[in-house]
């Protein structure tokens, strides 16, 4: 009765279960729901970076036909959960998110300071253009490089002795000075913005005085449900968050942002549905970014290339009112077999909005510095970069002194190097040329922490043998529904066509947000155990009927006169999390061509290989890996949010000026997997793939550029100006 459904191979993997509704335009995104009596909201934002508002003149705007209200701190009914504490709190208590329409203070340029509510979008936009705001301007600080001396240890870290961001020392703190060979370099990651195709949008509907429904572009409907319930002081179960379809997010939708709260507040005021869509310019000041980061890495080694010391210090950007910390320096503690390691992490507050997690947060930035530094050291020692990594291969986690649950990084190196043809690389820079182009080969390692959160899934077998699987998880693009359908089909042994996976609704069983590469390890495990439980129930029912060996699931339900059979199960980590160290691992090999005349740089080939445990659905996994590599190429060669520090305002405020890769920028990308289940990680043996796909790519590109040109570019992006 039970057969195995294979979706892990390239030939048998599933097409996206939601592919048809997306390509035909019938999928409904947050801004596309229809409501009678809908009100349109438009935000008015500050034009200064620091100071306070002295006057808001909205008289003319209020006369425009269709305008219903203009909301600001002057007339806002207030958000109940904000309380009365001063904003921002003193640094010792930093951690308060920005409170919209709370007071007259300005913390960053582009800050929402007022909101026009009107019958049509056109009326709201026109009225917004008529609102006049005057300010008392104070001197702002937005230049990261000029303020490095003001970096500080996070007060939250100081209070928490177990924080991973505490200063860390392993072994001899003076080992670097004693090292025979050493390098020291500073690496810079500029501010980068997520830039999904779909802008952030919300429709807020109050069904009753204490009952709220929102259609929001959000990566975590359960956390958003809790945050909105707290903000408006209503029961959590009375808040419903819907985000069934999301047009990309990359981390920008992890939290509830001020514009979401503003729309909910407006809907409450007017007792009508309110829609608020951020324009592309507001995407640069409203929903976070990868923080500007400066890192200094020092490395020591002996003459054989064995690492003797690593010192990694990082400074990351945050806002003046809230702390944002990233894993920038953490990989240096576990990536290589080095007895003496020290790390430090500091924050720098500037007059800008709060950063947030962006694909591969912290690790993508930190591994750029670590992997470039190791490449520099290998070059000085005249050791092949891949050989250097193999000589310093960590056979266990030296930070926690634990064995790996599974580690197939050596297999990644072997598979990737063979596919790429790494053996054909010469050691000397500027030594490989073709058709007037300098050719460079570069590579880098990749790792990302394993994250598994308690998750629930409900599985319902209907009388006709079809199955509904439900969980309040999300899909920002990787194909969550497809992967969960694959898991359910494999466990139940039925055709994927008979399974429907429902997600993106906070009323469904608990699940974490889609971030930190945790969806497959967490929700996938819950779907697995729920389907196993359902299969067990069905088997027991089948054993009680004649001819059970040939009976289908539908036959079993019919025999027992059951219209349906339902189970809900939870999956969570056990003691193994404290007994083993769990990571995803990988590597990237890159070929670049650099013009001898213009310095134009093109990535010509990429081979990426990952050890992420069991591959659940090959086709969507491959798509994830390709997407990560594309993001890494953008990070390396193009992406940079440029601010005019005279005004504290981004001048790269649209798709024309913020450069991201297009099809002509991306070469053939070969994707390889070790594909061995990590049975200690979870019941399905799968670990996270989404983040690791980008981690290390920028370093591999930078290392290839150095091999091609002999110029070591340590500040991203690598552009023509830096090469000529």
Q: Are 373 and 299 in contact (CB under 8 A)?
A: yes
663/2 Cα distance (integer angstroms): 44
Q: Is the backbone of residue 613 left (phi > 0), alpha (psi -120 to 50) or beta?
A: left
- What single-letter DSSP state applies at residue 715? B
292/144 Cα distance (integer angstroms): 7
110/359 Cα distance (integer angstroms): 24
225/597 Cα distance (integer angstroms): 56
465/551 Cα distance (integer angstroms): 11
Dig out the tokens for 412 from the structure: 């990644």
Dig out the tokens for 435 from the structure: 């058709």
Pick from 238, 211, 239: nearest CA to 224: 239
Max CA pair span of the chain: 84
Q: Are 183 and 373 in contact (CB under 8 A)?
A: yes
683/106 Cα distance (integer angstroms): 50
Is 414 one of the annotated active-site residues of the chain?
no
Catalytic residue among 326, 371, 591, 691: 691
Q: Where are the beta strands (DSSP E) in 494-554?
A: 499-502
| Residue with tokens 């694959």, as numbered in its chain | 486
Q: Residues near 664 by Cβ (< 8 Å), separated by ≥ 6?
A: none
Q: Are 415 and 680 in contact (CB under 8 A)?
A: no
**What number of residues does the chain have?**
724
700/683 Cα distance (integer angstroms): 33
State yes or no: cis peptide before 469, omega within 30 of 0. Answer: no
Q: Are 476 and 254 in contact (CB under 8 A)?
A: no
Pick from 288, 451, 297: nearest CA to 366: 297
Pick from 146, 112, 131, 122: nearest CA to 61: 131
Instruction: Tell me which residues are annotated as active site.
Output: 691
């Amino acid at each position: 009765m039970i057969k195995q459904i294979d979706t892990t191979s390239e030939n048998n993997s599933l097409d996206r279960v939601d592919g048809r509704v997306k390509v035909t335009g019938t999928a409904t995104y947050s801004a596309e729901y229809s409501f009678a009596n809908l009100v349109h909201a438009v935000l008015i934002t500050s034009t200064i970076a620091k100071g306070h508002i002295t006057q808001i003149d909205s008289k003319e705007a209020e006369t425009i036909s269709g305008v219903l209200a203009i909301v600001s701190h002057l007339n806002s009914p207030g958000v109940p959960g904000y309380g009365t504490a001063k904003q921002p709190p003193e640094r010792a208590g930093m951690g308060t998110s920005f409170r919209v329409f709370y007071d007259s203070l300005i913390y960053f340029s582009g800050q929402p300071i007022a909101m026009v509510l009107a019958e049509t979008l056109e009326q709201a936009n026109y009225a917004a253009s008529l609102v006049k705001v005057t300010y008392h301007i104070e001197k702002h600080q937005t230049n990261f490089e000029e303020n490095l001396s003001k970096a500080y240890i996070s007060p939250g870290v100081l209070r928490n002795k177990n924080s991973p961001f505490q200063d860390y020392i392993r072994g001899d703190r003076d080992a670097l000075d004693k090292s025979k060979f050493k390098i020291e370099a500073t690496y810079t990651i500029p501010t980068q913005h997520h830039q999904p195709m779909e802008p952030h949008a919300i429709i807020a509907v109050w069904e009753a005085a204490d009952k709220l429904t929102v259609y929001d572009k959000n990566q975590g409907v359960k956390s958003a449900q809790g945050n909105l319930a707290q903000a408006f002081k209503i029961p959590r179960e009375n808040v419903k968050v819907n985000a069934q379809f999301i047009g990309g997010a990359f981390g920008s939708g992890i939290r509830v942002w001020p514009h979401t709260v503003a729309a909910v507040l407006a809907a409450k005021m007017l007792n009508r549905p309110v829609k608020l869509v951020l324009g592309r310019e507001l995407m640069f000041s409203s929903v976070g970014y990868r923080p500007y980061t400066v890192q200094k890495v020092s490395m020591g080694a002996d003459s054989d290339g064995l690492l003797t010391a690593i010192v990694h210090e990082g400074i990351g950007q945050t806002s003046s009112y809230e702390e944002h910390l990233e894993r920038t320096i953490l990989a240096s503690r576990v990536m290589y077999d080095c007895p003496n390691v020290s790390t430090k992490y500091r924050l720098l507050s500037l007059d800008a909005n709060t950063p947030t997690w962006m694909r591969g947060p912290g690790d993508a930035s930190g591994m750029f510095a670590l992997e470039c530094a190791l490449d520099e050291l290998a070059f000085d020692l005249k050791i092949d970069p891949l050989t250097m990594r193999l000589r310093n291969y960590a056979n266990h986690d030296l930070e926690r002194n634990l064995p790996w649950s599974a580690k197939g990084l050596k297999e990644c190196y072997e598979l990737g190097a063979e596919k790429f043809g790494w053996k054909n690389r010469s050691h000397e820079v500027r030594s490989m040329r073709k058709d007037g182009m300098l050719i460079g080969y570069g590579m880098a390692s990749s790792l990302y922490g394993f994250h598994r959160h308690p998750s629930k899934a409900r599985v319902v077998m209907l009388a006709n043998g079809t199955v509904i699987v439900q969980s309040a998880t999300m899909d920002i693009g990787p194909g969550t529904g497809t992967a969960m359908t694959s898991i359910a089909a494999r466990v139940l042994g039925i055709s994927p066509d008979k399974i429907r996976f429902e997600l993106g609704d906070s009323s469904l069983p608990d699940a974490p947000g889609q971030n930190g590469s945790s969806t497959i390890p967490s929700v996938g495990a819950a779907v697995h155990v729920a389907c196993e439980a359902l299969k067990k129930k069905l088997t027991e029912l089948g054993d009680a009927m004649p001819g059970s060996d040939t009976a289908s699931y539908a036959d079993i339900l019919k025999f027992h006169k059951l219209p349906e059979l339902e189970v809900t199960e939870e999956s969570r980590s056990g003691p193994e999390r404290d007994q083993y160290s769990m990571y995803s691992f990988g590597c990237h090999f890159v070929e670049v061509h650099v013009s001898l005349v213009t310095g134009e740089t093109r990535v010509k080939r990429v081979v990426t290989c990952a050890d992420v445990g069991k591959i659940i659905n090959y086709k969507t996994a491959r798509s994830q890996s390709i997407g990560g590599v594309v993001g890494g190429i953008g990070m390396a060669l193009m992406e940079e949010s440029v601010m005019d520090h005279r005004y504290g305002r981004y001048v790269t405020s649209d798709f024309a000026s913020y450069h991201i890769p297009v099809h002509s920028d991306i070469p053939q990308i070969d994707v390889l997997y070790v594909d061995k289940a990590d049975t200690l990680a979870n019941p399905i043996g799968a670990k996270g793939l989404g983040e690791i796909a980008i981690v290390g790519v920028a370093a591999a590109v930078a290392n290839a550029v150095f091999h091609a040109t002999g110029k070591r570019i340590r500040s991203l992006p690598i552009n023509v100006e830096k090469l000529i």
